Structure 1
Amino acid sequence: MTSQAQDALIHVMIVAATSDSAITEKELTRITALIDRLPVFEGFDRTRLETVANQCADILNGQDGLDKVLDDAIAVLPAKLQDTAYALAVEVTAVDLYLEQEELRFLELLRDKLSLDRLTTAAIEVAARARHRKLPA
């Protein structure tokens, strides 16, 4: 796994978290947990996380920032990691079990930019909801 691809996946997660305007503590915790435990991030230097996040923010704040971040990320990701990118975005947005309209629009935009079929994206979304459910109070 190249650091470019890992950075791209982190960019996708950061954009997913900021799609509703602000990164919550839950979203930030989920991002760091995913980086710490998923094999795709094996070898990632955690001391670079702040730098990677700031690079993403700089691109987002530029002209056509959202499209640029996503297009750049997809360009460096191997095709076999496109479903991983979508799964990471869903995982971050689903952490609070409620998706704002902006988050839904972001996931739709990401889905359209990736080469994934509707069955794959639906399966990823259902699996994320199942993982985040809690027992009824």
Structure 2
Amino acid sequence: MSTIAPETALIYVMVTMSAVDSAMSDNELRTIGGIVKHLPIFRHFDTERLIPVARECASILQEDGGLDAVFGLVKDALPPHLRETAYAVAVEIASADLSVGQEELRLLQLLRDTLGIEKLIAAAIERGARARHATA
């Protein structure tokens, strides 16, 4: 039995991706809020809990071994059919600022490995994000 709910795990993924470069941008925070408001997985999630859950994740990340702890919780909480969703929301947060840095790329690789996301699936998710975030 997992210690966090799947919705919490997805928020942990998004917060971790946003915090990886030590700067949670307004675009990233707006994107997290939009995802929580619109994705069906969050249909029964109380949006008033978003900030407390994000703080909870940030607190874990600040501990020694925090990233491993968060990813362990995420992996345990997510059933296989939601692991691609977790990768997709991570990519959305990484793409929110229209540039993806080395820290974000490394975190995406770690997330792919942790959740067992196939390379072709990951590439398709990434390509979809590039298309959604393209500018003129």
Q: TM-score normalized by structure 1?
A: 0.94
1:116 positional shift: 1.3
Which residue does 1:111 correspond to in 2? 112
Q: Which residue of 1 aligns with 2:49?
A: 48
**Shift of residue 54, structure 1, vs aligned partner:** 1.1
How far apart, CA to CA, are the structure 2 residues paired with 1:111 and 1:118? 8
CA distance in 2, matches of 1:72, 1:63: 15
Identity %: 46
Superposed, which structure 2 residues align to 1:1-137 within 5 Å? Answer: 4-135=5-136
SS of 2:5's equivalent in the other structure is: helix
**C-alpha separation in 2, matches of 1:60 and 1:96:** 22
Following TM superposition, by how much is the alpha carbon of 1:100 offset from its aligned partner in structure 2, in angstroms?
Answer: 0.8
Q: Deviation per CA, 1:86-111: give whole Å up to 9, x if none.
A: 00000000112211110111101111
Q: Distance in 1 between matches of 2:15 and 2:55?
A: 10
The two structures, once aligned, show a CA RMSD in angstroms of 0.9
Q: Structure 2 regions of 5+ residues with no counterpart?
A: none
Deviations 1:65-92 (A, max 9, x none): 0111011111011110000000000000
Where structure 1 has 5 or more consecutive residues not aligned to the other structure, the ranges are none
Give the letter for the 2:111 counterpart.
L
Counterpart Cα distance in 2 of 1:12 and 1:116: 14
